[in-house]
Amino acid sequence: MGIIRAAKLGFDYFRYEEEGAEPEATRAIDDVNLDIHAGQFIAVLGHNGSGKSTLAKHINGLLVPTEGTLWVDNMDTSEEEDIWKIRQKAGMVFQNPQPDHRKRRGGGCRIRSGEHRNPDGGNLEAGGRKPSGDGNGSLPPPLAQ
């Protein structure tokens, strides 16, 4: 059994045009199954908008699946009480980090197994979770080598 596993993982982004109107759903991840073992090196490749970053955000709990389940070290990423333990196992390193995350363009991400700092920084809300960090929108300190 792998350190990162997904079963029938699905995720929809919702766009709300008008109050009271039905939201428009865009499917970003559809029926993904993974079994990644400790020590494996995995590359996720695809065109812009194909769901690579969305998948990465699920691995460290920044997003919660619309369907299916994702586990990191046998912990379900949708379980709020395990989120910090999960983030100690799977962190996110932005490809082109800049001091002000609101100005960052493009990007992508890499998954790193091992210890890390809180990846979602200040006032970002992800997957319906409460904002974390110091509250001023600053990025967390860099990862130790």
User: Could you tell me the domains of the chain?
Assistant: 4-113 (3.40.50.300)
Q: CA dist 92 to 26, 39, 58, 118, 134, Å? A: 23, 17, 10, 9, 18
Give this prediction's pTM: 0.63
Residue 99: per-residue pLDDT: 63
Backbone φ and ψ of 81, nearest 5°: -70, -15
> In 24-127, which residue ranges form alpha helices assigned H by DSSP?
52-59, 83-89
Q: CA dist 127 to 33, 43, 92, 105, Å? A: 20, 24, 15, 21
Which pair of structure tokens corresponds to residue 86? 């999960």
Residue 87 CB burial class (10 angstroms; 0-12, 13-18, ≥19): buried
Residue 89: per-residue pLDDT: 84
Backbone φ and ψ of 141, nearest 5°: -60, 155
* Per-residue pLDDT in tens (0 to 9) along the chain, 145 residues: 789 999 999 999 999 888 888 889 999 999 999 999 988 988 889 999 899 999 999 998 999 999 999 999 999 999 999 999 998 888 777 666 666 555 544 444 444 444 333 444 433 334 444 444 444 444 555 555 4
Give the integer Cα–Cα distance in Å for 10 and 28.
8
Residue 18: per-residue pLDDT: 83
Count the neighbouring beta carbons within 10 Å of the beta carbon of residue 94: 15
Backbone φ and ψ of 72, nearest 5°: -125, 120
User: Which of 61, 64, 55 minimizes the C-alpha distance to 29?
Assistant: 55
